[in-house]
Amino acid sequence: MQPIKKLAKILAELADEEHYLFSLADLKGAMPEQSKGGFKALLSRGVKDGLLKRICRGLYLYPGVEYAGGLVLFHAAARLRAGEFNYISLETVLSDAGVISQIPINWITLMSSGRSHIVNCGDFGRIEFVHTKKRPENLTDYLIYDPDCRLWRASVALSIKDMLATRRSTDLIDWDAANELI
């Protein structure tokens, strides 16, 4: 069987609405017989043929199943930094809570124990990781798990503290709305 057909068959069997993002390691594990060059060519062809969509470096989406389109960036963030402590915070939480008037379009902000970095996800948007030294055990009262996003989510109070700690602009914050939620 041709490698591209074999990859298509494997993805069709493995992917579902919960598991539609695949790392390079996932894909290489599905095709271990491929050489490094052959694997690279296979991925390139898979993207060209529409079998896969490249989200960002090292992460691919299988479009052959239903997935929550508005949550792709959150799911990608969870996959990209699975070994780090991450939580949704800053403008993303404040916008969702109605504390800032502007809604970030195709841009999510997370605090992360990993380094600060902005990941360009092409048409899907951008993921901004902002480094924090805060420890999970010190934030238990301020975090809830968001199963839809597959990430921890900060409270409004913690998000405002994060905004101040990272010296981000607080000009858009509606302090009356914020005080009601704190």
Both 62 and 112 in one domain: the answer is: no
Both 44 and 111 in one domain: the answer is: no
Q: pLDDT digits over 120-138, tens only?
A: 999 999 999 999 999 999 9
Strand order of the β-sheet with 126-131 is: 117-120, 126-131, 107-112, 86-88, 151-154, 143-146
Both 48 and 90 in one domain: the answer is: no
**Domain residue limits at 49:** 3-67
Both 120 and 173 in one domain: the answer is: yes
What pLDDT, on a 0 to 100 scale, did the predictor assign at position 102? 79
Give how far Cα 81 sits from Cα of 26, 115, 117, 130, Å.
15, 10, 11, 12
| 66 has pLDDT over 80 | yes
Both 62 and 15 in one domain: the answer is: yes
Percent of the chain with pLDDT over 90: 86
Tell me if the pTM is above 0.75. yes
| 178 has pLDDT over 90 | no
Both 11 and 61 in one domain: the answer is: yes
Reported as a pLDDT band with limits 50, 70 and 90, residue 18 is very high
Both 81 and 119 in one domain: the answer is: yes
